[in-house]
A and B are shown apart, each in its own frame.
Chain A
Amino acid sequence: DAKTTQPNSMESNEEEPVHLPCNHSTISGTDYIHWYRQLPSQGPEYVIHGLTSNVNNRMASLAIAEDRKSSTLILHRATLRDAAVYYCILRGGTSYGKLTFGQGTILTVHP
């Protein structure tokens, strides 16, 4: 599986935007970029995913570089409930959807 590289931790203030980067220089043409997050004492939850174009949903936005070797998860207005570990994952193009989690980025949100 192609690997991703994320900063170990980031900090933000409440109500401010947060940009979480992810590098995936060995991404293949059929790999989808998925983001999941894990709140304290909970299972991971899906945030957003994309292939080539930028994506928006109610939780976040995903900006994908033109060469697809990096992406950025954008939380437009961080809240205290967004404090979590954020995982950037490449999912192969098979129908089974296997995910390989890395260490992720620990996001701390300050009031």
Chain B
Amino acid sequence: EVQLLESGGKLVQPGGSLRLSCSATGFAFSDYAMSWVRQTPGKGLEWVSSTSASTANTYYADSVRGRFTISRHNSKNTLYLQMNNLRPEDAGVYFCAKDPKRNPVGTFEYWGPGTPVAVSS
């Protein structure tokens, strides 16, 4: 059974940094692309970033490019999202999601329960 579990969300001040983690079990993590999707009060569901299985290719939404970095540690079956220079509009629930292919195709096959991020002074 595919299981994804995010962690690392918390309250941070504007301009602060945070690293989210997503632990994966139940499938061959190193064979699949992975993504982060967030749900915010302002924009609803919003794709944030994706990485290919090998990390050779990474993709970002315009709203986070230059501030967020997606990475993965395949031997630890873990996906990460490093978030810098956080803004109030970045607040929401962050989900990690599994793609059905080695390269991101934009289908979010399985999701974790999410981790909440709050950005406020």
Are A and B bound to each other? no
Interface residues of B (CB under 8 A from A): none
